[in-house]
Amino acid sequence: MPSSLAALQTRLGHRFSDTQLLTRALTHRSFGADHNERLEFLGDAVLSLAISSLLFERFAGSDEGDLTRVRAHLVREDTLHKVALTFGLPDALRLSDGEARGGGAQRPSILADALEAVIGATFVDAGFDAARAMVERMFGDMTLNTDIASWTKDAKTELQEWLQARRIAVPTYCISATRGQAHAQTFQVECAVPALSCAQLGEGKSRRVAEQEAARRMLDALQSSDKQGINLRA
């Protein structure tokens, strides 16, 4: 077994009965046909269930909406990317030479997918309890040492941080329409990212609410494109 895989298993806290599962989980599609996308598909579902279970236990007094928001933060690409870096996944990834030269081992989308694939591989190797235990090791500190309020960062801040992490200029916001009487207006706001030639609309009972909705839609669209490997600067 390569030393990088042995060291990774130590960090993960799980010894694979079938190490080929771990190897496949760390294999990007650019490397070969036996890549990690099926394991990623499975791991995404296992991760969501494991996180839901942890949050259900940790935040006994919180309602569905709060739990859903916290889970969304924990399973989003940026969080998975940070966890993957913490556990040293870049050192064990298998990428094509071209992808490696292009910085693929540090790319958030590739690392997030690989982390989900590793969780999926653990589920196949040893069942849900082992996968849940791994997820708890990965995300436990985030759930135990925080509260609901700390995971409710507004969408505009999240979008700005996401763009800045990729050296893309911050978005602009402008009111594109207003409807209704002065005491009960609905605002429509456009969030635009000129560097990427894209825009999203949001609506709300105030300009602030509409801006947050537009920012959330923009962030969702950009993250979806990034996950699908679409060149955002094209």
Domains of the chain: 3-151 (1.10.1520.10), 155-227 (3.30.160.20)
Catalytic site includes residue 40 = no
Q: Which of 77, 99, 116, 226 is catalytic?
A: 116
For residues 139 and 27, which has the higher predicted lDDT (pLDDT)? 27
Q: Which of 40, 44, 99, 190 is catalytic?
A: 44
CA atoms in the 13 A half-sphere facing the CB of 75: 22
Left, alpha or beta for 146 (phi > 0: left; psi -120 to 50: alpha)? beta
Q: Which of 123, 52, 117, 60 is nearest to 87 (CA)?
A: 117
Interval 95-123 mean pLDDT:
92
Vertex 41: Cα angle to 62 and 68 (nearest 5): 10
Residues 112 and 81 sit within 8 Å (Cβ to Cβ): yes
Catalytic site includes residue 63 = no
Q: Which of 198, 172, 202, 199 is nearest to 187 (CA)?
A: 202
Interval 58-84 mean pLDDT:
83
Residues 93 and 5 sit within 8 Å (Cβ to Cβ): no
Give the pTM.
0.67
Task: Provide the mean pLDDT of the chain.
Answer: 88
pLDDT given at position 84 = 95
